[in-house]
């Protein structure tokens, strides 16, 4: 982890159970709005987080393995990382992950431990460098 990540990372850790999906959405959309993400992109983040956290919750063998959503705040973008649950991909999560990729084509999935990462731009209006 680099220094920037240590200082600008917001994290929520949730029990790997179905109710966590809504909490994760609330966290991610609140962070996105706080850091000036356009409304349309906030909607995409909401859906992507719901899909990714659902996949993690379903992958978990027990409720002991928490699901983690973290946001790295950068000047022009937010990096979302969804991890936890089991160490590898869960079964039946293909459609959800495909939805994430259609919303954020550059989304990356790392295995063992399983981490899904996607990057969302912060608002374009007023953010252009002079």
Name the site residues for other proteins (rule: CB under 8 A).
Answer: 18-19, 21-22, 25, 43, 46-47, 50-51, 54, 57-58, 95-96, 99, 102-103
The span from the CA of 22 to the CA of 75, in Å, is 27
Phi, psi (deg, nearest 5) at residue 117: -130, 130
The CB-of-22 to other proteins minimum distance in angstroms stands at: 5
For residues 67 and 78, which CB has a smaller minimum distance to other proteins in the complex? 67
For residues 84 and 96, which CB has a smaller minimum distance to other proteins in the complex? 96
The CB-of-15 to other proteins minimum distance in angstroms stands at: 12
For residues 21 and 72, which CB has a smaller minimum distance to other proteins in the complex? 21
Dihedral sign for Cα atoms in the order 96, 100, 106, 107: negative
For residues 58 and 86, which CB has a smaller minimum distance to other proteins in the complex? 58
For the beta carbon of residue 1, count every other beta carbon within 10 angstroms: 7
The span from the CA of 21 to the CA of 49, in Å, is 8
The CB-of-92 to other proteins minimum distance in angstroms stands at: 9
Contact criterion met (CB below 8 Å) for 67 and 14: yes
The CB-of-102 to other proteins minimum distance in angstroms stands at: 5
* Distance, CA of 130 to chain centre: 31
């Amino acid at each position: 982890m680099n220094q920037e990540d240590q200082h600008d990372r917001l994290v929520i850790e949730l029990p790997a159970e179905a109710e966590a999906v809504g909490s994760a959405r609330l966290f991610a959309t609140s962070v996105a709005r706080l850091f000036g993400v356009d409304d349309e992109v906030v909607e995409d983040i909401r859906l992507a987080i719901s899909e990714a956290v659902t996949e993690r919750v379903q992958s978990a063998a027990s409720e002991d393995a928490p699901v983690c959503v973290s946001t790295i705040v950068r000047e022009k973008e937010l990096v979302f990382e969804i991890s936890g649950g089991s160490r590898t991909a869960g079964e039946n999560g293909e459609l959800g992950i495909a939805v994430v990729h259609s919303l954020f084509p550059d989304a990356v999935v790392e295995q063992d431990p399983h981490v899904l990462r996607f990057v969302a731009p912060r608002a374009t209006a007023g953010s252009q460098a002079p």
